[in-house]
Amino acid sequence: MNLLQKLEAQAAERKAMLPEGLHAFGIPIEEVYSATEARIENRRVLFLGTNNYLGLTFAPECLEAAHRAIDQAGTGTTGSRMANGNYAGHRALELEITEFFGGRSTIVFTTGYQANLGAISGLAGSGDVLLIDADSHASIYDGCRLSGADILRFRHNNAGDLDKRLRRLGERAQNTLVIVEGLYSMLGDRAPLRDIVEVKNRYGSLLLVDEAHSLGVLGEQGRGLVEEAGVLDQVDFITGTFSKSLGSIGGYCVSKHPQLDELRYISRPYIFTASSSPAIIESTRAALRLLRDGTDLRRQLWDNITRLYSRLQALGYSLGAEPGPIIAAIVDTPGEALEIWKGLLERGIYVNLILPPAAPDNRALVRCSISAAHTPEQIDRVCEAFAELRELTV
Amino acid sequence: MASDYEVILERLCAHLQRIAGPGTNIKPEANLIDELALDSMKVMNMVMEIEDEFDISIPINSLADVYTVEELARLIERLHPEI
pLDDT tens for each residue of B15-40: 888 888 788 888 898 888 877 777 78
Cβ–Cβ of A152/B52 closer than 8 Å? no
Separation between Cα atoms, residue A44 and residue A1, nearest integer Å? 44
For residue B67, give the DSSP letter: -
C-alpha–C-alpha distance, residues A14 and A8, integer Å: 10
Residues of A in contact with B39 (CB under 8 A): 357
Say whether both A228 and A363 belong to one domain.
no
Which residues of A are marked as active site? Answer: 185, 213, 244
> In this structure, are A331 and A343 located in the same domain?
yes
- Determine the pLDDT at residue B30: 87
What are the phi and psi torsion angles at A64 (to 5°)?
-65, -40
Say if CB A162 and CB A199 are below 8 A apart: yes
- Is the Cβ of B78 closer than 8 Å to some Cβ of chain A? no
Side by side, the strands of the sheet bearing A37-40 are A31-32, A37-40, A43-47, A349-350
What would the pLDDT profile of A14-29 be if each residue is shown by its tens digit? 888 776 666 778 889 9
Q: What is the pTM of this model?
A: 0.95
Chain B contacts of A129, Cβ < 8 Å?
A: 59
pLDDT band for A93, please (50, 70, 90 cuts): very high
Q: Percent of chain B, pLDDT > 70?
A: 94
- Max CA distance (Å), chain B: 36
Average pLDDT, chain B: 86
- Residue contact B39–A357, C-beta within 8 A: yes
The band of A106, judged by pLDDT with boundaries at 50, 70 and 90, is very high
Do A138 and A31 belong to one domain? no
Asked if pLDDT for residue B81 goes beyond 60, the answer is no
A307 at interface of B, judged by CB pairs closer than 8 A: no
Assign residue A246 the CATH number of its domain: 3.40.640.10
CATH number at residue A25: 3.90.1150.10
Whether A138 contacts chain B with CB within 8 A: no
User: Residue A44 belongs to what domain range?
Assistant: 3-54+295-393
Q: Tell me the three state secondary structure of residue B10.
A: helix
CA dihedral A104, A105, A111, A116 (to 10 degrees): -80
Contact by Cβ (8 Å): B55, B49: no
B52–A164 CB contact, under 8 Å: yes
- A202 with A284, same domain: the answer is yes
- pLDDT tens-digit map of A38-81: 999 999 999 999 999 999 999 999 999 999 999 999 999 999 99
At residue B43, the pLDDT reads: 86
CA dihedral sign of residues B1, B5, B8, B13:
negative
Contacting residues of A for B59, CB less than 8 Å apart = 129, 150-152
Closest Cα in chain A, distance from residue B25 (Å) = 24
Q: B61: closest CA among B77, B40, B83? A: B40
Q: Are residues A237 and A366 in the same domain?
A: no
- Among A232, A265, A292, residue at a domain's last position: A292
Domain boundary among A270, A292, A314: A292
Number of domains in chain A: 2
pLDDT band, residue B1 (cuts 50/70/90): low
Find the helix packing angle between A193-203 and A159-169, rounded to 10°.
Answer: 10
- A138 and A103 fall within a common domain: yes
Q: Which candidate from A149, A165, A357 shows the least CB-CB separation from B41?
A: A357
* Confidence band for B82, pLDDT divided at 50, 70 and 90: low
Q: How far is B10 from chain A (nearest CA, A)?
A: 23
Does A165 reach chain B within 8 Å, measured CB to CB? yes
Q: Give the angle B37-B39-B41 at the CA atoms, nearest 5°.
A: 145
**Cα A382 to Cα A46, A54, B59, distances in angstroms:** 9, 19, 44
pLDDT of residue A17: 76
Domain boundary among A292, A314, A337: A292
Tell me the C-alpha distance between A316 and B22, whole Å: 36
Residue A174: alpha-carbon gap to chain centroid: 28
Contacts of B51 in chain A (CB under 8 A): 152, 165, 168
Between CA A108 and CA A311 the distance in angstroms is: 39
**A263 contacts A107 by C-beta, under 8 angstroms:** yes
Contact yes or no for B61 and A152 at CB 8 A = no
Q: Which amino acid is at A384?
A: E
- Residue A366 carries which side chain, given as an amino acid letter? V
User: What pLDDT, on the 0 to 100 scale, is given for residue A168?
Assistant: 96
Sign, CA dihedral A130-A136-A137-A142, equals positive
Cα angle A250, A368, A254; round to 5: 25
Which residue, among A198, A208, A332, has the nearest Cα to A260 in the 3D structure? A208
Spatial contact of A285 and A96, defined as CB atoms under 8 Å apart: yes
pLDDT digits (tens, 9 = 90+) for A140-191: 999 999 999 999 999 999 999 999 999 999 999 999 999 999 999 999 999 9
List all residues 6 or more positions away from B65 whose beta carbon is below 8 Å from its beta carbon: B71
DSSP state of A206: E
**A326-331/A129-133 β-pairing:** unpaired
> CA–CA separation, B42 vs B20, rounded Å?
10
CB–CB contact B55 A165 (8 Å):
no
Residue A342 buriedness (CB in 10 A; 0-12 / 13-18 / 19+): middle
B45 has a chain A CB within 8 A of its CB:
yes
> B82 and chain A: CB distance < 8 Å anywhere?
no
Spatial separation of the C-alpha atoms in residues A363 and A385, rounded to whole Å: 22
| B60 contacts in chain A (CB < 8 Å) | 151-153
Q: pLDDT tens across A220-270, in order?
A: 999 999 999 999 999 999 999 999 999 999 999 999 999 999 999 999 999
pLDDT digits (tens, 9 = 90+) for A336-394: 999 999 999 999 999 999 988 788 777 899 999 999 999 999 999 999 999 999 887 66
* B55: contact with A, CB 8 A cutoff: yes
- Return phi, psi of residue A388, to 5°: -65, -30
Give the Cα separation of A318 and B58 in Å (integer). 35
> What CATH fold (topology level) applies to the domain B4-79?
1.10.1200
Instruction: Name the minimum distance, in Å, from the CA of B69 to any CA of chain A.
Output: 20
- In a shared domain, residues A303 and A160: no
Q: For residue A169, which amino acid is it?
A: L
CA distance A345 to A339: 10
Mutate to test the interface with B, among A126, A129, A153, A355 (most CBs of B within 10 A): A153
